[in-house]
Amino acid sequence: PLPDLDADARVRADDRAHVFHSWSAQALIDPLPIAAGEGSTFWDYAGNAYLDFSSQLVNLNLGHQHPDLVAAIHAQAGRLATIQPSMANDVRGELARRIAEVAPGDLDKVFFTNGGADANEYAVRMARAVTGRRKVLSMYRSYHGGTATAISLTGDPRRWANEPSDGSVAHFLGPYAYRSSFHAESSEQETERALAHLEQVVTLEGAGTIAAIILESVVGTNGVLVPPPGYLEGVRELCDRHGIVYIADEVMVGFGRVGEWFAVNHFGVVPDLITFAKGVNSGYVPLGGVVISQRIASHFDTVAFQGGLTYSGHPLACAAGVATFEVFERDGILERVRDLGVRVVEPRLRAMAERHPSVGEVRGLGLFWAIELVRDPASREPLVPFNASGPDAAPMAAVAAACKRAGLWPFVHFNRLHVAPPLVISEDDLVRGLDVIDRALDIADGYVAS
């Protein structure tokens, strides 16, 4: 698109005057007006192009303006734009069937929501109804959404100002080998000790009071923490032993991000409930949901499920979801993600870790990676403190600004850069974006104590 500074000023003025933004002090932000998007790139009104290495909020798995998704929404809007959830609808049923076909084990029913937070709300509600218990365990270093129970489940600073909105939540520490809470020296030890810790929390909280354990299959915003071998299997076993419902939050990692329909498929684990949103239709129309095992679904065969939403299974959203399945299958998206992850991203990131003293660790799976930055490779002191903002966060802000100047929109959280481009990114763009990050890391190196 051509630069249009009048439009830029207009969009900015309306936004600043009337739009109230998420998670922000309203006077301290300066949202960038966006004119257009195509594939892995979006443009501001000044004509600057940005390669999107964050897939917006790690939801734009098929990129901007994918012609198949746009056409499916058009066609559905022309046919039947909306229908209430208590009626049956063709695209809603087809999408539920296709999700059930790729979900592991006996998970074969879907309750649709508007997004990820409400998917987690309803998953917890199902677990509570089925077990007759109230308490839920969730991980520190997690994000589960902004609504009452979902923010209580969340194990990051976004919870602090919002508690206690659901008082029946307790947190535990998950595996994080680079900064092991358990003084582990191998991934086997990390698995064993993290599971022993979780078992202790279950015992101390009272196994018979716990309805569910919820965890992200790969922790997303809080660090791209890939669980070490055996960890998720151990959680499954612990839940089985105590009659606890295992909820896998796959809002960020489901639908291809790590090269599988669901990340649990990579680990060969079958949870009782899986929550999803984001990648199910790349966010073209808001959609999330809960995939439900037969055991839990059958509880509600004769007992009414106490929950619902006007837009549950909205046809426009579901049509975009069905089109997502067609594109994934036709274009081999899962295979592509696995290939690009192993062949392009991982070796380049490992080379950056060798070259840049500020890179403490790189880790990830598929097209989902973290570059963890440190001030001191020996002590692993983070480049910026936990939850840093303002001047404390300046080193990360400088790295991010360098990326943006070079035409790359990065995902930055605390002392990490994440690599999470659309799954349709071209190999050339992927390499170009990684090269931009490589150069920006020189700035981080400047903060490393020599």
Cβ neighbours of 125 (radius 10 Å)? 18
Q: What are the phi and psi torsion angles at 280 (to 5°)?
A: -55, -35
CA–CA distance, 41 with 419 (Å, rounded to integer):
15
Taking the complex as a whole, the smallest distance from the CB of residue 249 to ligand PLP amounts, in Å, to 5
Cβ neighbours of 297 (radius 10 Å)? 20
Residue closer to ligand PLP, measured from CB, 143 or 182: 143
Taking the complex as a whole, the smallest distance from the CB of residue 68 to ligand PLP amounts, in Å, to 22
Q: b vs e for 32-71, b when ≥16 Cβ sit within 10 Å of the residue's Cβ?
A: bbebebebbbbbbbeeeebbbbbbbebbbbbbbebebbee
CA–CA distance, 20 with 309 (Å, rounded to integer):
24
Residue closer to ligand PLP, measured from CB, 113 or 358: 113
Q: What is the largest CA-CA distance in the chain?
A: 68
Taking the complex as a whole, the smallest distance from the CB of residue 267 to ligand PLP amounts, in Å, to 16
Taking the complex as a whole, the smallest distance from the CB of residue 348 to ligand PLP amounts, in Å, to 25
Residue closer to ligand PLP, measured from CB, 104 or 288: 288
Residues 430 and 347: beta-carbon distance below 8 Å: no
Taking the complex as a whole, the smallest distance from the CB of residue 117 to ligand PLP amounts, in Å, to 3
Q: At which residue do the structure tokens 């947190």 appear? A: 171
Amino acid (1-letter code) at residue 184:
A
Taking the complex as a whole, the smallest distance from the CB of residue 57 to ligand PLP amounts, in Å, to 6
**In sequence order, what are the beta bridge partners of 50?**
42
Q: At which residue do the structure tokens 């605390």 appear? A: 414
Residues 198 and 238: beta-carbon distance below 8 Å: yes
Cβ neighbours of 439 (radius 10 Å)? 12
Q: What is the pairing mode between strands 411-413 and 416-419?
A: antiparallel
Taking the complex as a whole, the smallest distance from the CB of residue 401 to ligand PLP amounts, in Å, to 24
Taking the complex as a whole, the smallest distance from the CB of residue 147 to ligand PLP amounts, in Å, to 7
CA–CA distance, 220 with 177 (Å, rounded to integer):
16
Taking the complex as a whole, the smallest distance from the CB of residue 45 to ligand PLP amounts, in Å, to 26
Residue closer to ligand PLP, measured from CB, 190 or 249: 249
**Full DSSP string of 5-24:** HHHHHHHHHHHHHHPPPTTS
Cβ-proximal residue to ligand PLP, closest one: 116
Residue closer to ligand PLP, measured from CB, 96 or 280: 280
Sheet holding 34-38, edge to edge: 34-38, 41-44, 49-52, 408-409
Residue closer to ligand PLP, measured from CB, 11 or 253: 253
Residue closer to ligand PLP, measured from CB, 155 or 341: 155
Give contact residues for ligand PLP (rule: CB under 6 A): 57, 115-117, 120, 143-145, 216, 220-221, 249, 251-252, 277, 288
**Full DSSP string of 189-210:** HHHHHHHHHHHHHHHHH-GGGE
Residue closer to ligand PLP, measured from CB, 76 or 221: 221
Residue 331 CB burial class (10 angstroms; 0-12, 13-18, ≥19): middle
Taking the complex as a whole, the smallest distance from the CB of residue 47 to ligand PLP amounts, in Å, to 30
Residue closer to ligand PLP, measured from CB, 127 or 252: 252
Residue closer to ligand PLP, measured from CB, 44 or 249: 249
